[in-house]
Amino acid sequence: MSFSALLAIFAVVAFISMALYIIFGQVTVRKLRKNPATKHALGIEFASGWDIVNVAGALALPKMVAQKIKRNSVSMGLGQGFEADPNLLYKHTTRFDRLLARLFYWSWASSGFGLIALTLAYFLFGFGQN
Amino acid sequence: MLNRTRALNIARSSRSIKKLELVSTLQAGKLARFSKYGKAMGTGVVAIDFASRIGNVQTTYKADGNWERELFVESSSFTLSALAGTATAKAGVAFFVVATPVGWVGLIVVAAATALGTNYIVKEKSGGWYDDIMDWVSSL
């Protein structure tokens, strides 16, 4: 398969994940932002909308992994508010929210890492350079 | 800000800074400043980038070029480079690069470089995608 075709596949997945990002943000994260119980448990917001990715990660990764990430961030001295709190978010989300989180997060992560890998392959190893 | 409760309430209702409940105040200050700069700079950079992309499309249009193709190239490279940059930053944070000597600055530089690199390759390849899609559409 050519480099261009491989890149196009990741591009299609990326576009789907962008659509899911908007949907997940509007359906689930909006609700969590309004809820006083979860309002402050959505993780840090470096740029507007960053908390959407935090929440998706907390709900989409296996619970053990999400909890470990949260614990590690606290023990690194980054504070309670740095990562989203998976335990609290599980209590305040429905199965549908979590399904949406998983769909978004994994399409986002796979296309993101695909793009990073192809960028590295292009510049470091010269794949796809004509 | 003489009233403490009021100050606390204001801090609590803001969506950006309050989320940092850090152990050391020094670190809290650093992070809060970083997060502020990040927001302001991020928006500024995106605005400049966006304007230059629109400019490219308009130049192509004025030169009687294939401006739809240019629009496709610019918008897809914008989206994909943003996604790659975000993924890099998020991965860096998750693997605690920030706590190593590489630190925040290194992470930002790497994320920006990834975004630029992705932008470059997508710009190079997406014109071909557009042509393929158009060929396919016209063959229907």
pLDDT bracket for residue A28 (50, 70, 90): very high
In chain B, count of helices (H) and strands (E)?
Answer: 4, 0
Look at residue A110 and tell me whether its pLDDT is greater than 70.
yes
Which of A37, A53, A30 minimizes the C-alpha distance to B88?
A53
Q: Mind listing the pLDDT tens digit for each residue in B26-65?
A: 555 666 666 666 666 667 777 888 888 999 899 999 999 8
Contact B116, B49 (CB under 8 A): no
Overall average pLDDT of the A116-124 stretch: 92
A45 interaction partners in chain B (CB closer than 8 Å) = 15-16, 19, 35
Q: Which residues of B touch A (CB under 8 A)?
A: 12, 15-16, 18-24, 27-28, 31, 35, 38-39, 42-43, 76, 79-80, 83-84, 86-91, 94, 96, 98-99, 114, 117-118, 121-122, 125-126, 128-129
Helices (H), B14-66: 25-62
Q: How confident is the model at residue B19 (pLDDT cuts 50, 70, 90)?
A: very low
> Cβ of A11 and B12 within 8 Å?
no
Please tell me the total count of domains within chain A.
1
Q: Is the dihedral of CA B110, B111, B116, B117 positive or negative?
A: positive
Average pLDDT of chain B, as a whole number: 79
Return the pLDDT at A101: 95
Q: Which band of pLDDT confidence, cut at 50, 70 and 90, is reported for residue B22?
A: very low
Contacts with B, A 75-94, CB within 8 Å: 76-82
Task: Residue A119: list chain B partners with CB under 8 A.
Answer: 84, 114, 117-118, 121
User: What pLDDT, on the 0 to 100 scale, is given for residue A81?
Assistant: 76
What was the pLDDT predicted at A69? Answer: 84
ipTM score of the complex?
Answer: 0.85
**Helix H or strand E segment including A43:** none
* Residue in A29, A46, A123 to test binding to B, most B beta-carbons within 10 Å: A46
pLDDT digits (tens, 9 = 90+) for B57-95: 999 999 998 999 999 999 999 999 989 988 988 888 777
Each residue's pLDDT tens digit, A40-92: 888 887 777 888 999 999 999 999 988 888 888 777 767 777 888 899 999 99
**Residue located via tokens 């576009």:** A15
Cβ contact, residue pair A8, B125, below 8 Å? yes
Domain that residue A48 falls in = 3-125
pLDDT band at B11 (very low <50, low <70, confident <90, very high): low
Check the CA dihedral B70-B86-A89-B33 and report its sign. negative
The pLDDT, as a whole number, for residue A129 is 79
CA–CA min distance A94, chain B (Å): 24
B83 → chain A, closest CA residue: A112
**Which alpha helices (H) appear in A25-62, and where do they start and end?**
30-34, 50-60
Q: Choosing among A1, A50, A125, which should be mutated to test the B contact, i.e. which has the most B CBs within 10 A?
A: A50
Task: Give the pair of three-digit tokens for residue B75.
Answer: 């918008």
Provide the mean pLDDT of chain A: 89
Does A130 fall in a domain?
no
Res. B104 pLDDT band, cuts 50 70 90: confident
Q: Among A34-43, A112-121, B21-30, where is mean pLDDT lowest?
A: B21-30
Per-residue pLDDT, B20: 44
Hey, which residues 38-67 in chain A have their CB within 8 Å of chain B?
Answer: 40, 42-48, 51, 53, 57
Q: How far apart are the CA of B44 and the nearest CA of chain A, in angstroms? A: 12
